[in-house]
Amino acid sequence: MQIRDFRIHSLAISDPPLRSSFGLHAPLALRTVIELESADGIIGIAETHGGDGPTQALESLRTRVIGQDATRLFVSLSDLQGQSAYRMALSALEVASLDLIGKTVGLPVHALLGGKVRDKVPFSAYAFYKHAWGESKYGEALTPEGLVTQVQQLITDYGFGSIKLKAGVLEPDAEIETIKLLRQTLGPEVPLRIDPNCVWSVETSVRAGKALRDELSDGGYLEDPAQGIAGMAAVRAGLLDQGIQTPLASNMAVTSFATLAEAHQHDACQIVLGDHHYWGGLRAVAELGRVCETLGIGLSMHSNSHLGVSLMAMVHVAAATHHLTYACDTHYPWQKIIAEGRIPITGGNVSVPDLPGLGVTLNYDQLEKLKERYKNSTYRVRDDVAEMRKQVSPNWERRHW
């Protein structure tokens, strides 16, 4: 399985005007797709973040990738494992290697990760406050009522059984009201989660946790309410002081095994949102599941703007992870998928494929279109603040409440 070619494709995909505490999504989101081709002509693929930085990190590894055996690639790159600049590039190379190995030996990636323990992987709806320009299916949602309408449409379209609200956008009281309205509308059988991306103070976080003690129970959680492990630990202590057991989840304070150990020591995080793009790959996320199970910590999965390749990578590792205790996040409804049509999400689930490798291949016509779009655009780094100032408010600053 000697690698004879390594191709890096910079892509721009359309993205609706979604809001978060960081600002506004630009009309184009950047992604990078890579291909590893073996001497046998078999191609392994992966997808990661886009723009100049990720592309350069991947490009810098070219001479060490070409000529390596796919089964030995990570041994040969082990000296880079601790370097954060390379972590995402190594994760993408690992996924592409596993896809290449799977396609060569005729096994799905989940089998290479130890075997699937489920046939379907549950995903959560990812609801955003958003503007309406550029697309019509999901219109403006800048009020609690608008958000509920959006969620109802997402459930109609995909059957999601869990709901996540990206928060840190409106005043905290309006976001609390949004969650309450979701609960009133959907009932207690639909778990709710809220993620203000750590722009709430400890005081605001505890106040929100108290106000939403019923709404975030029954399988819900409060995600990255306050900043850092110290902030999260203080929120947890403040909630426990009032007898509130709502778990705290994180993909911002807990991003590595070292930060997980620290968070566990301070009871700062009860649910980790794994992400193979920056935890070090699919094997690292599978290991994360075992560590979380040992520590009594829940496991969910983080999502960023993605195409079908990353979605399938998530599906394979989730299928092979026994201790997946919450539905995974996904930006799927907001994206255009490039592979063989959109991967269906039905009843809130993606069926786990048993085809070799990831079970998806690239649509090269579509790939060329997205590469052209990248070349013809001026976007090279994601900058939601600049987009917010350009489109909504010239003096906008990220707010903390």
Q: Are 365 and 338 spatial neighbours (Cβ–Cβ below 8 Å)?
A: no
Helix (H, G, I), strand (E, B) or coil at 265: helix
Residues at the contact surface with Mg ion, assessed by CB under 5 A: 195, 251
Task: Identify which of residues 251 and 330 has a Cβ nearer to Mg ion in the complex.
Answer: 251
Task: Identify which of residues 35 and 275 has a Cβ nearer to Mg ion in the complex.
Answer: 275
224 half-sphere exposure, CB direction, 13 A CA radius: 22
302 is catalytic: yes
Written as six digits, the tokens of 107 are 């096994």
Rounded to a whole number of angstroms, the minimum distance from the CB of residue 124 to Mg ion is 12
Rounded to a whole number of angstroms, the minimum distance from the CB of residue 221 to Mg ion is 11
The three-state DSSP-derived secondary structure of 113-171 is CCCCCCCEEEEEEEEECECCCCCCCCCCECCHHHHHHHHHHHHHHHCCCCEEEECCCCC
In angstroms, the Cα distances linking 123 to 65, 127, 227 are: 34, 12, 26
Active-site hit among 110, 264, 302, 331: 302
The angle formed by the CA atoms of residues 322, 324 and 325, to the nearest 5 degrees, is: 125
Active-site hit among 25, 116, 166, 316: 166
Rounded to a whole number of angstroms, the minimum distance from the CB of residue 252 to Mg ion is 6
DSSP 176-195: HHHHHHHHHHH-TTS-EEEE
Task: Identify which of residues 68 and 251 has a Cβ nearer to Mg ion in the complex.
Answer: 251
**Rounded-to-integer distance, Cα 146 and Cα 94, Å:** 41
Task: Identify which of residues 272 and 337 has a Cβ nearer to Mg ion in the complex.
Answer: 272
Q: Does the CA dihedral 105-108-114-117 come out positive or negative?
A: negative
Q: Are 54 and 278 spatial neighbours (Cβ–Cβ below 8 Å)?
A: no
**Rounded-to-integer distance, Cα 138 and Cα 161, Å:** 19
Rounded to a whole number of angstroms, the minimum distance from the CB of residue 195 to Mg ion is 4
Task: Identify which of residues 20 and 48 has a Cβ nearer to Mg ion in the complex.
Answer: 20
Catalytic residues: 166, 302
